[in-house]
Amino acid sequence: MYKNKIISLCLAFTLIFSCSFLTISSEKAYSASVQDRINQATQNKKAALDKINKSKEQKAEIMSKKEKIDHEIDLLQAELDEIDAIINEAEQGIAQKEQEIKDYELKIESNDADFRKRLRAMDENNSASYIDILLEAKSLSDFFIRLETVREITEHDQAVINEMIALKKGVEVIRNELVLKRDEQKEARSLVSDKKSVLDAKVAEQNAIISKINNDINLQEKLYEESKKLEEQLKNSIRSSLSTSSSAGSKYKGGKFVFPAPSMIYMSSEYGYRTHPVTGVKYKFHSGVDLAAPQGTNVLAADAGTVRMAGWNGGYGYCVIIDHGDGVATLYGHNSKLLVSAGQSVSRGQVIAKIGSTGVSTGPHLHFEVLINGSTTNPAPYIGL
């Protein structure tokens, strides 16, 4: 008996709950799905940014390695230039010495020819050979004089030729030394050149990697921009949907809101034009009021409504937007913690978040906005300031 009563009560409750749930479920699903898509876009944006940063790090690492190798290549090139200069100098020396050798050879040849000519001339003038000259001696002493004369002439000529041969040999020694030096340098050059080729190949490889990383960065930057655009569009779609909203149950009757930051110490910034406290840009329009309050204290829903967004919202940091119906909405920025999620119904005065300083903010405070048909208005009168 008693048991049955409990069961039927439960059934009744279940029915009532499912019915009321059904009436708000489509609204909830819409907000939740937009919020999901915003979160996804935000996540994609962050992932792209992470990849870009990682790629840039990789690139910087390779660039610094490449710089070192480039420096080594420069040193090797300087070495090659030096070796080339030595080889060049040696080759010039070799050419010069070879010319000298040739000159000596010519001289030796012509001296030899002269010598032979003189010998022949001697023959011709006297119409006789050396032997005849000697045989024509009139006495033994005359024979020895003649012999001595012939000997002196031939010895002198031979000495001149021998000296030239000796000089030529000296030049040949120098030439051979130069050839040896040149060949040694050529060997050294081929070693240095091999080393340089290896480094050149390494640099080419690194250049290929860098160009691949650059392509990756370009791609991720595109993805980042696309995600950012989508995120903005979705956030705008929430804002514009606020202007046409007539949902969220009870209609807004224009009464005063619950003060959203009960632990407020002071109002740190008014609605309207001012100097931005972070960027320092003058006359920047401030779209809400800043209520300075201790970190982690309660942020209350100004009135009953449906949460349109609860998540990261750029400069607003962790942000909540509540749709109160009839085109009235409130925004709560810079929270340290969010206690509601998109699509959820909230009651007037419900704790929806904790005071923080997320996004573009100088210290813990609530940035509170009142939106009428999607446009901001001075929130001060709405919260009794």
Q: Which of 367, 369, 370, 379 binds Zn ion (CB under 5 A)?
A: 367
Distance, C-alpha 88 to centroid of its chain: 42
For strands 266-269 and 305-312, give the pairing: unpaired
The number of residues that bind Zn ion (CB under 5 A) is 2
User: Tokens 């807004």 sit at which residue?
Assistant: 252
369 binds Zn ion (CB under 5 A): no
Tell whether the torsion through CA atoms of 312, 316, 317 and 322 is positive or negative: negative
Find the shortest distance in angstroms from Cβ 246 to Zn ion: 28
Find the shortest distance in angstroms from Cβ 367 to Zn ion: 3
Contacts of 79 (CB under 8 A, 6+ apart): 192
User: Tokens 């009532």 sit at which residue?
Assistant: 16
Structure tokens that stand for 231 in this block? 């995120």
Find the shortest distance in angstroms from Cβ 360 to Zn ion: 9
- CB-based contact 333:321 (threshold 8 Å): no
Find the shortest distance in angstroms from Cβ 49 to Zn ion: 25
Nearest residue to Zn ion by CB is 367
The single-letter code of the amino acid at 3 is K
Structure tokens that stand for 171 in this block? 């030049």
Q: Of 13 and 285, which CB lies nearer to Zn ion in the complex structure? A: 285
Find the shortest distance in angstroms from Cβ 269 to Zn ion: 6
Q: Which stretch binds Zn ion (CB under 5 A): 83-91, 220-228, 275-283, 366-374?
A: 366-374
The single-letter code of the amino acid at 156 is H
Q: Which stretch binds Zn ion (CB under 5 A): 3-11, 168-176, 287-295, 297-305?
A: 287-295
Q: Which of 290, 303, 323, 369 binds Zn ion (CB under 5 A)?
A: 290
Q: Of 2 and 266, which CB lies nearer to Zn ion in the complex structure? A: 266
Find the shortest distance in angstroms from Cβ 356 to Zn ion: 13
Q: What is the dihedral of CA 250, 26, 37, 236, to 10 degrees?
A: -40
Gap between the Cα atoms of 180 and 187, Å rounded: 11
- CB-based contact 377:288 (threshold 8 Å): no
Q: Which stretch binds Zn ion (CB under 5 A): 38-46, 107-115, 343-351, 361-369?
A: 361-369
Find the shortest distance in angstroms from Cβ 268 to Zn ion: 8
Structure tokens that stand for 19 in this block? 């019915």
For the sheet containing 298-300, what is the strand order? Answer: 298-300, 351-354, 337-338
Q: Of 290 and 303, which CB lies nearer to Zn ion in the complex structure? A: 290
Find the shortest distance in angstroms from Cβ 288 to Zn ion: 5
Tell whether the torsion through CA atoms of 227, 229, 235 and 237 is positive or negative: negative
Q: Which stretch binds Zn ion (CB under 5 A): 85-93, 244-252, 254-262, 282-290?
A: 282-290
Q: Of 290 and 323, which CB lies nearer to Zn ion in the complex structure? A: 290
Distance, C-alpha 273 to centroid of its chain: 40
Binding characters for Zn ion, 35-64, by CB under 5 A (x = yes): ------------------------------
- CB-based contact 100:171 (threshold 8 Å): yes
Contacts of 15 (CB under 8 A, 6+ apart): none
Binding characters for Zn ion, 71-100, by CB under 5 A (x = yes): ------------------------------
Q: Of 104 and 271, which CB lies nearer to Zn ion in the complex structure? A: 271
Find the shortest distance in angstroms from Cβ 203 to Zn ion: 52
Q: Of 170 and 363, which CB lies nearer to Zn ion in the complex structure? A: 363
Gap between the Cα atoms of 201 and 73, Å rounded: 11
Q: Which stretch binds Zn ion (CB under 5 A): 60-68, 82-90, 237-245, 289-297?
A: 289-297
Q: Which stretch binds Zn ion (CB under 5 A): 46-54, 118-126, 350-358, 365-373?
A: 365-373
Find the shortest distance in angstroms from Cβ 271 to Zn ion: 9
Gap between the Cα atoms of 165 and 194, Å rounded: 43
Site of interaction with Zn ion (CB under 5 A): 290, 367
